[in-house]
Amino acid sequence: MSLTLSREEIVRLASRIETAQVYAHSIRKLTEEYPDMTLEDAYAVQTELRRNFEKAGHRVIGWKAGLTSKPKMIQMGVDKPGVGFLTDRMARPENSVITVSDLVHPRAECEIAFMLKSELKGPNCTREDVLAATDYVMPAIEIIDSRFTGFKFDFESVIADNSSSARFVAGGRPMYVEDLDLPTIGVVIEQNGEIVAMGAAAEVLGDPAEAVAFMVNVIHDMGETVPAGSFMMSGAITAAQAVKPGDNVVARFQHLGSVSVRFSD
Ligand code: 0L1
Ligand code: MG
């Protein structure tokens, strides 16, 4: 696989996505204009988007794995997850109110987040490396937002759109990985008091630490390492739930406590 887009096209597509994200309007998936776009092109657009946000003063505080569950990968026709960057501007306090009028297709999903105490780097990062570098894990809700019209997209378009990153909320009870059997941690999501999804962390590549190792290796391909202090969201354990103003979402994790968030206009 290689780059097919020119530097000018990468800059133009990154700016199109940035505008869609900032002003919450939908755009056509990028592959309508560039049907031969490769994964390398998509990550080049995402990198340009990251640089644009950094120039505007946003701070990259970590990374996320997206499309981690088997059903979602099958739906997208891929056998690997995607990666996106997380910034300080996406973070929201636990139980805060998230406005949906500045999002396009908001959905909530629950994940296990890893806080790193030492640097991780590819190209051969393993699950064991991740566990050794992890200070603690904690539960999180990610609010994803695809910017593509009609919620129609493909893998390349999603990657360029920073894997639909929008907001995230961490909370619950931080715990050391040695005190947990990560794959067997169960989670239940409630929306307005009703259970809407449940699952076990093994849904994420068999073990969420595998997803973090996968991310580190993709980040290496983007020319970056992952510093100590990074916040790594390992990917959705259950399907994402569409949310609307007035909704209240709670993710209850076994051992790790719960995280909640509310939504308004
Ligand atoms: O975090 C994720 O799983 C990203 C999902 C990307 C596709 C979508 O917006 O549903
Ligand atoms: Mg996610």
| Fold adopted by 61-264 | Fumarylacetoacetate hydrolase; domain 2 (3.90.850)
Q: For residue 77, what pLDDT is reported?
A: 84
106 in contact with ligand 1, CB cutoff 6 A: no
CA of 33 to the centre of ligand 2 (A): 26
Select from 21, 26, 46, 72 the residue to mutate for testing ligand 1; criterion: most ligand atoms less than 8 Å from CB. 72
CA of 50 to the centre of ligand 2 (A): 18
139 in contact with ligand 1, CB cutoff 6 A: no
Burial 99-113 (b: 16+ CB within 10 A, else e): ebeebbbbbbbbbbb
Neighbours of ion ligand 2 (CB under 5 A): 142, 236
CA of 146 to the centre of ligand 2 (A): 11
CA of 205 to the centre of ligand 1 (A): 15
Q: For residue 1, what pLDDT is reported?
A: 64
What atom of ligand 1 comes closest to residue 64's alpha carbon? 1
223 vs 34: CA distance, rounded Å: 24
146 in contact with ligand 1, CB cutoff 6 A: yes
108 in contact with ligand 1, CB cutoff 6 A: no
The domains of the chain are located at 61-264
113 vs 259: CA distance, rounded Å: 12
DSSP output for 91-155: EE-TT-EEESTT-SSEEEEEEEEEEESS-B--SS--HHHHHHHEEEEEEEEEEEE--BGGG---H
- Give the mean pLDDT per block of 10 residues along the chain (265 residues): 94 98 97 97 98 98 93 82 97 97 96 98 98 98 96 94 98 97 98 97 96 98 97 96 97 98 97
Nearest CA to ligand 1 atom 10: 146
